Copies of this chain bind each other. A is one copy, B any other.
């Protein structure tokens, strides 16, 4: 909407800051990372950092926000249930995005990541589920909740593992596995194919 307006210097600076954050978080949690460390790694002045972010946590939150924005766009781009293949397409696109930004997404989902990020992703998927399943009446509301949490938590865990293997398998294969596990559980792994 209102992008492209940012000064080139700002873009370069922010990029350097973000890359340093990701690099540092590969080795330690955000709690052990100071603003000073980030600035030294990014080779920028500390005043410059404060011109853009309140502190290291605000920076992390901003970065997470961008990822969440991307996922949100994908997740709401199609119907998940009903339309055949809709869910697969969405999963494949999210997986592809994750793989393209592996260094970042991997660290956000890792043990050095932020629980609130994963919590926000849960919330996002939750909204999607509610939007699509609001007519669902055959299951008790609380069971629906559990199902939702189970699904998102499970899929997120698969994606985490997949990123840690450096996307060894094809996105389509992972999405297929996800769907099978969701719909038919472990039983789904033994039938056919």
Contact = CB atoms under 8 A, between A and B. Distances in A.
Nearest to A153: B157
Nearest to A109: B115
Interface stretch (A6-14, A98-106, A162-170): A162-170
Nearest to A180: B185
A82 to B, nearest CB: 14
Contact of A177 (B143, B183, B190): B143
A116 B111 contact: yes
A77 interface: no
B116 A112 contact: yes
A184 interface: yes
Contacts of A178: 150
A155 B161 contact: no
Contacts of A118: 115
A88 interface: no
Listed from nearest, the 10 A-B pairs whose CB atoms lie closest are: A153-B157, A154-B154, A111-B119, A185-B185, A149-B157, A150-B154, A111-B116, A153-B153, A184-B185, A149-B161
Interface of A: 29-32, 57, 110-116, 118-120, 122, 138-139, 142-143, 145-147, 149-158, 160-162, 165, 168-169, 174, 177-178, 180-190
30 contacts: A29-B115, A31-B31, A110-B115, A110-B119, A111-B115, A111-B116, A111-B119, A111-B120, A112-B115, A138-B190, A142-B165, A142-B168, A146-B174, A147-B181, A149-B154, A150-B154, A150-B157, A150-B178, A150-B181, A151-B154, A152-B157, A153-B153, A153-B156, A154-B154, A181-B185, A182-B185, A183-B186, A184-B184, A185-B185, A185-B187
